[in-house]
Structure 1
Amino acid sequence: MSLKRLQALKAVLETGSVTDGAQMLNRTQPQISRLLAALEDEVGFPLFVRQGRGLLPTRECLRFYEGTRHILDGLQDISRVAKSIRSHHEAWLHIVTQPYFAHGIMPNAIHAFSKQYPSARVSLEVRSRVDVGLWMSGQKFDFGMAALPLDFPGLRTQPFAEARVVVAMPPSHPLADRKVLRPEDLRGQPFIALRTSTLLRQFTDELCARQGIELQIVAETSTGESACMMASLGMGLTLSDPVLASRVPGLVLLDFEPALHLRYGFLLPGLFAPSALAQAFAQTVVETVAQIGGSRIKVCDHGGEIRPD
Structure 2
Amino acid sequence: MKLNLRSLEAFRETMLSGSATAAAARMGLSQPAVSRLIAQLEQDAGFDLFYREKGRLAPTPEALIIYEEIDLAFGGLERVDNLVRDLASFNTGALKIVAPPSLSEGVLPNILSRFMARFPNVRVSIDSRSTETARTMVANRTADCGFVKLPMDRTDISTVLLSSSETVCVLPETHPLAAHAELSPQLLRGEPLVLLGYGTRTRRQIDDAFRECGVRPEVKLETHTVGSACAFAAAGLGVAIVNALLATNYRKPGITMRVFRPQILHDYAFMASALAPPGRLANALLEQAREYFSDVDQLP
How does the TM-score come out when normalised to structure 1?
A: 0.63
Aligned with 1:140 (options 139, 142, 146):
142
- 1:296 aligns with 299
Tell me which amino acid in the other structure corresponds to 1:207.
A
Question: Per-residue displacement from partner, 1:9-35 (whole Å, max 9, x unpaired)?
Answer: xxxxxxxxxxxxxxxxxxxxxxxxxxx
Within 2, Cα distance between the matches of 1:197 and 1:137? 26
- Corresponding position: 1:260 with 2:271: no
Tell me which amino acid in the other structure corresponds to 1:114.
M
Aligned with 1:214 (options 203, 213, 216):
216
Tell me which amino acid in the other structure corresponds to 1:242.
A
- 1:34 aligns with none
Deviating above 6 A after TM superposition, structure 1's stretches of 4 or more consecutive aligned residues are none
Within 2, Cα distance between the matches of 1:176 and 1:284? 35
Alpha-carbon RMSD:
2.6
Within 1, Cα distance between the matches of 2:293 and 2:185? 27
- 2:188 aligns with 186
Within 2, Cα distance between the matches of 1:261 and 1:111? 27
Within 2, Cα distance between the matches of 1:132 and 1:192? 28
Instruction: State the 1:208 CA deviation.
Output: 1.4
SS at match of 1:238: strand
Question: Per-residue displacement from partner, 1:212-245 (whole Å, max 9, x unpaired)?
Answer: 2211111112222222222222211122211211
Greater CA radius of gyration, 1 or 2? 1
- The 3 A distance-change label for structure 1 pair 213 and 136 is farther
Question: Per-residue displacement from partner, 1:178-237 (whole Å, max 9, x unpaired)?
Answer: 211112112111111112332321221121121122111111122222222222222111
- 1:62 aligns with none
Matches within 5 A, 1:120-135: 120-135=122-137
Matches within 5 A, 1:105-184: 105-152=107-154, 154-184=156-186
- Corresponding position: 1:81 with 2:84: no
Within 1, Cα distance between the matches of 2:168 and 2:100? 19
- The 3 A distance-change label for structure 1 pair 184 and 135 is farther
Is the CA contact (8 Å cut-off) linking 2:162 and 2:289 kept in structure 1? no
Count of aligned residue pairs for this structure pair? 216
SS at match of 2:250: coil
Is the CA contact (8 Å cut-off) linking 1:241 and 1:262 kept in structure 2? yes
SS at match of 2:292: helix
Instruction: State the 1:266 CA deviation.
Output: 1.5
Instruction: State the 1:119 CA deviation.
Output: 1.5
Q: Which moved more, 1:192-201 or 1:150-159?
A: 150-159
- 1:269 aligns with 273
Instruction: State the 1:152 CA deviation.
Output: 4.2
Instruction: State the 1:146 CA deviation.
Output: 1.6
Is the CA contact (8 Å cut-off) linking 1:137 and 1:153 kept in structure 2? no
How does the TM-score come out when normalised to structure 2?
A: 0.65
Instruction: State the 1:246 CA deviation.
Output: 0.9
- The 3 A distance-change label for structure 1 pair 237 and 152 is same
Q: Which consecutive residues of structure 2, in runs of 5 or more, have no partner in the other structure?
A: 1-82
Within 1, Cα distance between the matches of 2:137 and 2:92? 23
Is the CA contact (8 Å cut-off) linking 1:225 and 1:248 kept in structure 2? yes
Is the CA contact (8 Å cut-off) linking 2:196 and 2:203 kept in structure 1? yes
Instruction: State the 1:145 CA deviation.
Output: 0.9
Within 2, Cα distance between the matches of 1:134 and 1:193? 29
Matches within 5 A, 1:192-211: 192-211=194-213
Is the CA contact (8 Å cut-off) linking 1:170 and 1:234 kept in structure 2? yes
Instruction: State the 1:161 CA deviation.
Output: 2.4
Matches within 5 A, 1:5-44: none
- The 3 A distance-change label for structure 1 pair 111 and 235 is same
Question: Per-residue displacement from partner, 1:82-103 (whole Å, max 9, x unpaired)?
Answer: 883xxxx251111111122112
